[in-house]
């Protein structure tokens, strides 16, 4: 029997898209109270500054394309720190349960009898929609939105039911799809999406480095190539992209006071 009074607790906390103002109050409070903060890529320095100066900060992620600490080792680290009776914040970009492997970490805690909580965060899709002026759903235009990973574990396009995705008239949001963008566009058009389907590719949504490229499925790869975007990048496909023309507001805000994001690590 584990004596739970002698073990700490793990908080799987969503940090949002990197803009400190989009942290939840609960995320900030837990960061302030944490003894150990285990964080990965997409977490900026401004967010880590909420942690106590005595807290142990452990980085477990690297820039995309490089190795990260393997997931089993991260799980072991969380458990080890909790067993040392520490309050552990596992800080993850966006929402822990959306392409964040938060589920695996929750299961690992559960298996070891470690108490845990999950704190939702603003996921990249909703942040990018808001900050680019693209409503992910809009009455009469799109009544369904699908979050998709553009990257399988092997770094290739995942096996998806492209025929279903292509034939629908809803909004598709691809995470981690910058390197597979040409394949995504090709598959969708091959399976029936009109080549003129509006498509947006957004770098560093909600951050000062935000850059939005708008095109169509047919020309988006070329457009993005000219702009030399870098990760993190989100792709939005669907008629709702057109609304940006009337609803964009963020990129024009020259007076918007927010920290640079040089510490964004992916
Ligand atoms: N759990 C995270 C997603 C992690 S996967 C979430 O809920 O948002 C990492 C991917 O998220 C990136 O490759 C990119 O596609 C997307 N992403 C995260 N932050 C982003 C940002 N600020 N702007 C654009 N895309 C972002």
Q: What's the token pair of residue 135?
A: 């409503």
pLDDT tens series, the chain, 266 aa: 555 566 899 999 999 999 999 999 999 999 999 999 999 888 888 999 999 999 999 999 865 555 678 899 999 999 999 999 999 999 999 999 999 999 999 999 999 999 999 999 999 999 999 999 999 999 999 999 999 999 887 778 899 999 999 987 899 999 999 999 999 999 999 999 999 999 999 999 999 999 999 999 999 999 999 999 999 999 999 999 999 999 999 987 754 555 555 444 33
Specify the pLDDT at position 62.
Answer: 63
> Which residue out of 63, 93, 122, 127 has the highest number of ligand 1 atoms within 8 Å of its CB and is therefore the one to mutate?
93
Q: Please give the Cα distance from 91 to 15 (Å, whole number).
A: 6
Ligand 1 center to 166 CA (angstroms): 23
Mutate to test the pocket of ligand 1, among 20, 94, 205, 211 (most ligand atoms within 8 A of CB): 94
Q: What is the pLDDT of residue 155?
A: 72
In this structure, are strands 87-92 and 36-39 parallel, antiparallel, or unpaired? Answer: parallel
Measured distance CA(39)–CA(265) in Å, rounded:
11
User: Structural domains in the chain?
Assistant: 9-119 (3.40.1010.10), 124-247 (3.30.950.10)
The pLDDT of residue 251: 85
Supply 189's token pair. Answer: 């058009």
**Integer Cα distance of 259 and 246 in angstroms:** 27
Structure tokens at 125: 């899709």
Please give all residues whose beta carbon lies within 6 A of any atom in ligand 1, as ranges: 17-18, 42, 92-95, 98-100, 123-124, 128, 175-176, 202, 204-207, 231-234
């Amino acid at each position: 029997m584990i004596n739970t009074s002698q073990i700490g607790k793990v908080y799987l906390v969503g940090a949002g898209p990197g803009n400190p103002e989009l942290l939840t109050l609960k995320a900030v409070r837990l960061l302030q109270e944490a003894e150990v903060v285990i964080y990965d890529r997409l977490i900026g320095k401004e967010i880590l500054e909420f942690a106590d100066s005595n807290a142990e900060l452990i980085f477990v992620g690297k820039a995309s394309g490089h190795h990260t600490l393997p997931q089993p080792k991260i799980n072991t680290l969380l458990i080890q720190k909790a067993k040392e009776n520490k309050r552990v914040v596992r800080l993850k970009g966006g929402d822990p349960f959306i392409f964040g492997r938060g589920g695996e970490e929750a299961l690992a805690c559960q298996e070891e009898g470690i108490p845990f909580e999950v704190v939702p965060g603003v996921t990249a899709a909703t942040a990018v929609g808001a900050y680019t002026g693209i409503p992910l759903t809009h009455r009469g235009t799109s009544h369904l939105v699908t979050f998709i990973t553009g990257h399988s574990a092997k770094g290739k396009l995942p096996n998806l039911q492209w025929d279903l995705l292509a034939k629908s008239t809803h909004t598709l949001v691809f995470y981690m799809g910058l390197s597979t963008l040409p394949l995504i566009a090709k598959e969708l058009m091959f399976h029936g999406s009109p080549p003129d389907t509006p498509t947006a590719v957004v770098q560093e949504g909600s951050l000062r480095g935000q850059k939005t490229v708008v095109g169509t499925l047919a020309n988006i790869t070329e457009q993005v190539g000219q702009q030399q975007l870098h990760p993190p990048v989100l792709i939005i496909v669907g008629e709702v992209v057109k609304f940006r023309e009337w609803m964009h507001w963020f990129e024009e805000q020259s007076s918007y006071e927010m920290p640079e994001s040089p510490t964004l690590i992916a």
